[in-house]
Amino acid sequence: MQRTRIKICGLTREEDVLAAVQAGADAVGFVFYDKSPRYVTPQRAAELSALLPPFVTPVGLFVNAGAAAVAATVAAAPLSLLQFHGDESAQDCAAAAQAAGRAFMRVFRVKPDTSGAELLEYERLCRASSGLFSGLLLDTFVDAYGGAGKVFDWSLIPKDLAHRAVLSGGLSVQNVTGAVASVRPYAVDVSSGVERAKGIKDARLIAEFIRGVRAADATFEKDPHHENPA
């Protein structure tokens, strides 16, 4: 069975980290953007990361942070993967990843007029910039940094990109099964869709979200010839 990986992002509390782990999350995300209501300090991220068992990946989300700041954060918090969510160029991301000695994801904020060719070209540029590039995370374009809980048109994602991309943007218990079944991404990333308040996760929603992803995976197992309609 193809198993879609799952990241729960924007964690700020011990109980939310434990809920994500218990429900079967593959990764958890910590936000190091101080204008976000989900912001945590590197020291707080280190405390929360100490609760993680082996093979659950701690990911650090950065917005327009310089290479030195990223490296300093990684020195204080045991992050395994970086996620760049601002206006960083591919070269900026590569430099910060090199300074920190960590692989990175780059967020592409998808607009209504984004083309599949544009997504593939951006992935190519990021991959050419650094051997530390891990993949694209596709989110919805809004006039702010970080997610806004809004969905973009999934049909814009090229079939030959979807299977190695991380799908984000407005995912929730209500729509994640359909999203995974139609897009077949490598992974999904959720934050506000499993919250009861900004930065406060809901253990029941986390568990239901992960069950929704697994339901789509099970459907794909029954129909291995299922095609991405994009």
pLDDT tens per residue, range 113-144: 999 999 999 999 999 999 999 999 999 988 76
CA 93, CA 129: separation in Å to the nearest integer?
Answer: 9
Average confidence score pLDDT of the chain:
94
pTM: 0.93
CA 57, CA 79: separation in Å to the nearest integer?
Answer: 8
Res. 105: pLDDT tops 60: yes
The whole-number pLDDT of residue 142 equals 81
The whole-number pLDDT of residue 230 equals 39
Angle between helices 14-23 and 203-222 (to 10 degrees): 20
For the chain, the helix, strand and coil percentages under 3-state DSSP, each to the nearest 5: 40, 20, 40
The whole-number pLDDT of residue 146 equals 60
Quick one: which of 10, 56, 3 has its CA closest to 31? 10
pLDDT tens per residue, range 66-94: 999 999 999 999 999 999 999 999 999 99
Report, as an integer, the average pLDDT of 135-156.
84
Report, as an integer, the average pLDDT of 184-203.
96
Domain limits of the chain?
Answer: 5-221
Asked whether the beta carbons of 181 and 162 are under 8 A apart, the reply is no
Give the lowest-confidence range in 2-6, 141-145, 182-186. Answer: 141-145
Amino acid in the structure at residue 149: G
Let me know how long the chain is. 230
The whole-number pLDDT of residue 205 equals 98
List, by residue number, the catalytic residues: 9, 139
DSSP 52: P
The whole-number pLDDT of residue 219 equals 87
Which runs of consecutive H residues, i.e. helices, occur in the chain?
A: 14-23, 42-49, 67-76, 90-100, 116-129, 159-162, 176-183, 203-222
The whole-number pLDDT of residue 228 equals 47
Q: What is the percent of the chain where pLDDT is above 70?
A: 93
- As its CATH architecture, domain 5-221 has Alpha-Beta Barrel (3.20)
200: part of which helix (H) or strand (E)? strand 200-201
The whole-number pLDDT of residue 229 equals 42
The whole-number pLDDT of residue 216 equals 96
CA 179, CA 61: separation in Å to the nearest integer?
Answer: 23
Q: What angle do CA 44, 137, 41 make, to 5 degrees?
A: 10
Report, as an integer, the average pLDDT of 169-195.
97
CA 150, CA 175: separation in Å to the nearest integer?
Answer: 12
3-state secondary structure of 16: helix
* Torsion, Cα of 173, 111, 114, 28 (10° steps): -40
β pairing state of 103-110 and 81-84:
parallel
Q: Hey, what are 139's tokens?
A: 């989110």
The whole-number pLDDT of residue 2 equals 79
Q: Which residue has the tokens 């209500």?
A: 174
pLDDT tens per residue, range 20-66: 999 999 999 999 999 999 999 999 999 999 999 999 999 999 999 99
